[in-house]
Amino acid sequence: MQYRTLGRTGVQVRTLVLGAMNFGSLGRTTQDEATAMVDAAVDAGINLIDTADWYSQGESEEMVGKAIAGRRDDLVLATKAAMPMSDERNHRGGSRRWLVTALDNSLRRLGVDHVDLYQIHRWDPSTSDEETLSALTDLQRAGKIRYFGSSTFPAYRIVQGQWAARENHLSRYVTEQPCYSILQRGIETHVLPVTEQYGLGVLAWSPLASGWLSGAIREDRQITTHRSSFMPQRFDTSIPSNRAKMAAVEQLAELADASGLTMIQLALGFVTAHRAVTSAIIGPRTMDHLRSQLAAADTVLSSDVLDAIDAIVAPGADLAPDEKHDTPPALLDATQRRR
């Protein structure tokens, strides 16, 4: 498994990151299972673990903390904040008031005195960039975080964040964590050129497209993945975007077979082939999932295979644009575009 530099930080990380979203009630993964997966991932060379306070409302962080006890200094530890942690309206977002509290809560759950990478889980349109960056800079200077980054920010917000840091003499975001897979390639058009311009590390989430590229979903099989039980609309084949995904998956499966690859190797090899991507985040729910994903860690796709993928899903195309999380608010709220 390759090492790559995380943006301009000098920190070396593997091309696969262990994502802990499924640890806890969301993925029905127990502490023993989570610890076993962390052990196996670390033994395989993975050295960055990514979680968030929002995952199972803090349970994922607690499980990660227990799993890494005694070897924290050998790992790059990342978590996130900004998603709602309760019905209280101030227990979310990017305000100084919340981020200071949220980080203390995360450190307590993780059982550590600092995290290496603290990420704003989603852009908060109600909070100024200066407010958020000032709070993050102070937390960095206090030694509670080493670096900070963004997650699923639209390209223009990434640019605005860089500008605001420079204008106000504050520390800047050093990473971005976008959704990226063969089926969702929109960030190639706008986000990845911006991250390259500013030298940001890129940690791509959902490289298997919520299981669509795992090999388990095919036209002749009933869809029974864990995700389909709580996000049925993303797997309902009566929806045009899902039919488009299924058609692409069938062609990709033929390509994988002809190339002597598994679907997982094809999917992860595609994401890590992009020169702007540092690592792909895998989010196993079981040890079998992890093993199949670790087996794809060193996959390097040939130019012919990459060209064939482009012929199936065009560069810069999102087959399910309604599933994106970086759409400007004005496109989601009619009152903001029709006054």
Q: What is the pLDDT of residues 12-71, one digit of tens each?
A: 999 999 999 999 999 999 999 999 999 999 999 999 999 999 999 999 999 999 999 999
Mean pLDDT on 174-203: 97
* Spatial separation of the C-alpha atoms in residues 115 and 157, rounded to whole Å: 24
* Residue 133 burial by Cβ neighbours in a 10 Å radius (0-12, 13-18, 19+): buried
Q: Is the pLDDT of residue 325 over 90?
A: no
Contacts of 81 (CB under 8 A, 6+ apart): 52, 53, 98, 99, 102, 103, 106, 118, 119, 120, 121
3-state secondary structure of 275: coil
Dmax (CA) for the chain in angstroms is 57
What is the average per-residue pLDDT within 303-323?
94
Query: Which of 215, 231, 200 lies closest to 323 in space, CA to CA?
Result: 231
Give the CATH number, domain containing residue 257: 3.20.20.100
Tell me the C-alpha distance between 177 and 79, whole Å. Answer: 11
Q: Which two tokens stand for residue 37?
A: 């997966």
pLDDT at position 230 over 70: no
pLDDT at 333 exceeding the cut of 90 = no
Number of Cβ within a 10 Å radius of residue 115: 24
Which of the residue ranges 145-154, 167-176, 216-225, 280-289 would you say has the lowest mean pLDDT?
216-225
The residue that leads in pLDDT, 182 or 239, is 182
The candidate with the shortest Cα–Cα distance to 204, out of 227, 226, 184, is 184
Cα-based torsion angle of the residue sequence 92, 187, 145, 38 in order, rounded to the nearest 10 degrees: 100
Per-residue pLDDT, 332:
65
- Give the pLDDT of residue 226: 63
Residue 236 has a pLDDT of 85
Neighbours of 200 (CB within 10 A): 28
The Cβ of residue 303 has, within 10 Å, a number of other Cβ atoms equal to 8
Per-residue pLDDT at 112 exceeds 70: yes
* Residue 159: per-residue pLDDT: 98
Sequence-distant (≥ 6) Cβ neighbours of residue 140 within 8 angstroms: 146, 147, 148, 171
Model confidence over 149-162: pLDDT tens digits? Answer: 999 999 999 999 99
pLDDT tens profile 235-271: 888 899 999 999 999 999 999 999 999 999 999 999 9
- What's the whole-number average pLDDT of the chain? 93
**DSSP-assigned beta bridge partners for residue 13:** 4
pLDDT for 227 beyond 80 = no
Query: Does the predicted model carry a pTM greater than 0.85?
Result: yes
Separation of alpha carbons 125 and 136, rounded Å: 17
Under 8 Å between Cβ of 33 and 287: yes
The 8-class DSSP code of residue 183 comes to S
Domain that holds residue 13: 3-337
pLDDT confidence tier of residue 335, bands split at 50, 70 and 90: confident
Q: How far apart are CA 291 and CA 296, in angstroms?
A: 9
User: Which is it for strands 175-177 and 145-151: parallel, antiparallel or unpaired?
Assistant: parallel
Q: Count CA within 13 A, CB hemisphere, residue 90.
A: 6
Q: Distance between alpha carbon 309 and the CA centroid of its chain, in Å?
A: 22
What is the predicted pLDDT for the residue at 222? 74
Cβ count near 162 (within 10 Å): 19
Distance in angstroms (rounded) separating the CA atoms of residues 181 and 311: 15
pLDDT at 88 > cutoff 70: yes
DSSP symbols for 79-106 = EEE-S--SSSTTSSSS-HHHHHHHHHHH
Active-site amino acid positions = 55
Read off the tokens for 299: 């996959």
Q: How many domains does the chain have?
A: 1
Would you tell me how many other CB atoms lie within 10 Å of the CB of residue 294? 22
What pLDDT was estimated at residue 233? 79
Token pair of 222, please? 């009933």
What long-range pairs does 220-229 form, CB within 8 A, spacing at least 24? 226/22, 226/27, 226/28, 226/285
